[in-house]
Amino acid sequence: MKNRSLISINDYSKEEYIKILDLAAEFEKNPDQDILKGKVIATLFFEPSTRTRLSFESAINRLGGRIIGFTDATSSSVSKGESLNDTIRTVANYSDLIVMRHPLEGSARHASEVSSVPIINAGDGANQHPTQTLLDLYSIRKTQGTLDNLNLFLVGDLKYGRTVHSLLMAMSHFNTTFNFISPVELQMPNEYKIYLDNLGLKYYEHLDFTDIISRADIVYMTRVQKERFSDPIEYEKTKNTYVLKNTMLQNTKPNMKILHPLPRVNEISVDVDENEKAYYFTQALNGVYTRQAILASILGLQ
Amino acid sequence: MNESKKLSVSAIKEGTVIDHIPAASLFKVLTILDLESLKSQITFGTNLYSKNLGLKAIIKVSNKFFKDNEINKIALVAPEAKLNIITDYEVVEKKIVQIPENVVGIVKCVNPKCITNHDEIVTRFTVINKSDVALKCHYCEKITDQAQMKILK
Ligand SMILES: [Zn+2]
């Protein structure tokens, strides 16, 4: 991975995922190392994403690197109409690696083609967010001891949810059985179902969020966003249907864990937080180790 | 060639005849091949009856012989197109078009949130389906299909 940008989860092989996860496990044991000493990392957030930015900045700080950048485009030359090409070429002069988040899809790929330093895509619109996918894989492997032959339940907005699409693509390497739980208007797009069909992987679709989750190894919850609905009444109904409550966890498998990319709205009741099956806050912490592993791999410092 | 076609689109001495273009794709083909900027004589006919295509168009370009990679671009909008290479009023070679593996700088990405629709970037697609043409954007990874396809100019 040395000097190679991380743009899309689909650019990487199963072996490359595993390498990153193994390295992330090393950083979990020893998160404070000075390997980025003397390096300058640019974090360019053309749209705000506080969680992702803080996670990256924590990873960089713990490795002794220094950070330059901006937290939203209004405070930068972008608001004066500068093209992405010009911003990236300029910042590449000042830094050893660029972490970027941008509202337009394909922006990170374009940046990687004009930049003289590697780019890490921290989200390009609804397209890709590969560090999220890798931290999800890390969390799944850590809690299950393996990535192979698991039963993965994806719940909520499966139509627009970039996170679940990337996770599906990544987990398709590991003989996963998929269960999709969503309202009709937010079902998994056909292209992903065709993709699984072609691989001969099993998937099941459900409209009701019931004790079907007793089969799950992982329940991956997502936010149902208001702006996805043309009818506000439909939204209100849906919002309160796909909610995970503590009582629903009674018959679930002992190894089952609940993941969520955060932030949540109401789709996981607060009473679940104390359940040992709730893993979403630890999942966020795993993001720091995973990002440390990605930074170290790309900079050739591991 | 029958008499009625000869009347609608006259024969050429040297050059290329592009036949079996769906009538609706005629102007897209002219754009893709950049025939507007060509100085040689061009005649075309459209809404001609075709057994296979319904209404077809035909283009005759004098003194112009296309390279394969140039002509294959039109396969996106005219997959059935047939070329006749003419020398001294005779057909000396017949060619069909082939859909390329990659499409660079011809098609607009259907995704309004794609970076290529905002900054000055040459579009790039991988052809993921050749029979029912579908293009995957190299940048935003979204699919543009034949019905949505807009030719850039
Ligand atoms: Zn695109």
Contact indicator for B90, B58 with CB cutoff of 8 Å: no
Q: Is A299 left (phi over 0), alpha (psi -120 to 50) or beta?
A: alpha
What local confidence, expressed as pLDDT, does residue A236 receive? Answer: 85
What local confidence, expressed as pLDDT, does residue A239 receive? Answer: 81
- For residue A58, what are the contacts with CB-CB under 8 A and spacing of at least 6? A288
CB contacts, 8 Å: B141 with chain A: 8, 10, 105-106, 127-128
Chain A: nearest CA to B113, how far in angstroms?
5
Instruction: Give the whole-angstrom CA distance, residue A249 versus residue A252.
Output: 5
What local confidence, expressed as pLDDT, does residue B4 receive? Answer: 47
- For residue A249, what are the contacts with CB-CB under 8 A and spacing of at least 6? A256, A272, A275, A277
- Average of pLDDT values for B122-133? 92
Domain at A130-284, CATH homologous superfamily: Aspartate/ornithine carbamoyltransferase (3.40.50.1370)
Q: Which two tokens stand for residue B96?
A: 């069909």
What local confidence, expressed as pLDDT, does residue A202 receive? Answer: 98
Amino acid type, A284: A
Q: A30-58 burial, b if ≥16 CB within 10 A, otherwise e? A: eeeeebbeebbbbbbbbeebeebbebbbb
Confidence of residue B9 (pLDDT cuts 50, 70, 90): low
What local confidence, expressed as pLDDT, does residue A249 receive? Answer: 96
- For residue A286, what are the contacts with CB-CB under 8 A and spacing of at least 6? A24, A28, A135, A138, A139, A142
Distance from residue B111's CA to the centre of ligand 1 (Å): 6
Can you give the residue ranges of every domain in chain A?
A: 9-128+287-298, 130-284
Q: Answer whether B138 touches A (CB < 8 Å).
A: yes
Contact indicator for B99, B128 with CB cutoff of 8 Å: no
pTM: 0.89
Contact indicator for A50, A23 with CB cutoff of 8 Å: no
CB contacts, 8 Å: B137 with chain A: 106
pLDDT at B91 over 80: yes
CB contacts, 8 Å: A127 with chain B: 140-142
How many CA atoms are closer than 13 Å to the CA of A123, on its beta-carbon side? 22
What local confidence, expressed as pLDDT, does residue A229 receive? Answer: 81
SS3 B19: strand
Read off φ and ψ for residue B103, nearest 5 degrees: -125, 120
Per-residue pLDDT of chain A (302 residues; tens, 9 = 90+): 788 999 999 999 999 999 999 999 999 999 999 999 999 999 999 999 999 999 999 999 999 999 999 998 776 666 678 899 999 999 999 999 999 999 999 999 999 999 999 999 999 999 999 999 999 999 999 999 999 999 999 999 999 888 999 999 999 999 999 999 999 989 999 999 999 999 999 999 999 998 899 999 999 999 988 877 888 888 888 888 899 999 999 999 999 999 999 999 999 999 999 999 999 999 999 999 999 999 999 999 87
Please work out, in degrees rounded to the nearest 5, the angle formed at the alpha carbon of residue A288 by the alpha carbons of A178 and A94.
Answer: 120
Contact indicator for A179, A212 with CB cutoff of 8 Å: yes
Q: Do domains A9-128+287-298 and A130-284 have the same CATH topology?
A: yes
Instruction: Give the whole-angstrom CA distance, residue A71 versus residue A76.
Output: 9
- Average of pLDDT values for B112-139? 94
Domain at A9-128+287-298, CATH homologous superfamily: Aspartate/ornithine carbamoyltransferase (3.40.50.1370)
Going by the DSSP 8-state scheme, the letter that residue A233 receives in this structure is: H
What local confidence, expressed as pLDDT, does residue B3 receive? Answer: 46
CB contacts, 8 Å: A128 with chain B: 141
Chain B: nearest CA to A190, how far in angstroms?
12
What local confidence, expressed as pLDDT, does residue B69 receive? Answer: 87
Name the residue with higher pLDDT: B101 or B146.
Answer: B101
Chain B: nearest CA to A181, how far in angstroms?
24
pLDDT at B1 over 70: no
Task: Find the residue in B nearest to A128 (Cα).
Answer: B140
Distance from residue B114's CA to the centre of ligand 1 (Å): 4
How many CA atoms are closer than 13 Å to the CA of A142, on its beta-carbon side? 25
What local confidence, expressed as pLDDT, does residue B147 receive? Answer: 85
